[in-house]
Amino acid sequence: MTSSRWCDFDELIRTVSSQFRLGSYSDHGPHHWKRVEQNGLWLATQTGADLMVVRLFAWFHDAKRENECNDPDHGRRGGEYATSLRGKLFDLDDAAFESLVSACVGHTDEQFSSDPVIGTCWDADRLDLGRVGMIPSPDYMSTAFGKEVAKAGSFYPFLDRIGISDNAYERSGD
């Protein structure tokens, strides 16, 4: 059992991005991961999810995708990749690490999670479906706040609640 928790995010982002097979402009690549991270941090202000797990999920969940269309095993490979870098570029206590791996593995074929950490990760990913021309549906969200955001179509109506200014919100886009 380890209780250490740390992450060199700059190095982790460089490492994970540079090994990605589909290129930096992939619909499932680093630009998407950055938005998932941002969505997750905003969701976590209301869901109370573990911020380290949410951020690490964002950078690992699609890191091992091998094509843009149908790659049902990429969640499992993402979880294995996270495992291979544990202790090298980041660490988490065992329970949080298990959540991270479960969130990566399950995001490809499970629909909902009542676990607030895993639910926040999956909602953060699904709220970025606009990039591939799909409107995120409240029916596919796990968390109550994820449903509200999907229903509204963006985080914009909730800026006071998540504690950011209009300007910061505008600057958060790519």
Which residues sit at the interface with Fe ion, rule CB under 5 A? 62, 125
**Cβ closest to Fe ion, residue 27 vs residue 93:** 27
Give the nearer residue to Fe ion in terms of CB position, either 2 or 111: 111
Question: In the bound complex, what is the minimum distance in angstroms from residue 147's beta carbon to Fe ion?
Answer: 19
Nearer to Fe ion, 5 or 31 (CB): 31
The pair of structure tokens assigned to 41 is 């941090």
Q: How far is the CB of 28 from Fe ion (least distance, A)?
A: 6
Cβ proximity to Fe ion, 37 vs 62, nearer residue: 62
To 5 degrees, how large is the angle CA 21–CA 24–CA 26? 75
CB of 46 to Fe ion, least distance (A): 21
**Is 86 in a helix, a strand, or coil?**
strand
Pull the structure tokens for residue 160.
């006071």
Could you give the C-alpha distances from 156 to 53, 59, 153, in angstroms and in order? 24, 24, 8
We find the least distance from the C-beta atom of residue 172 to Fe ion, in angstroms, to be 18
Please, what is the angle between helix 51-60 and helix 94-106, to 10°? Answer: 40
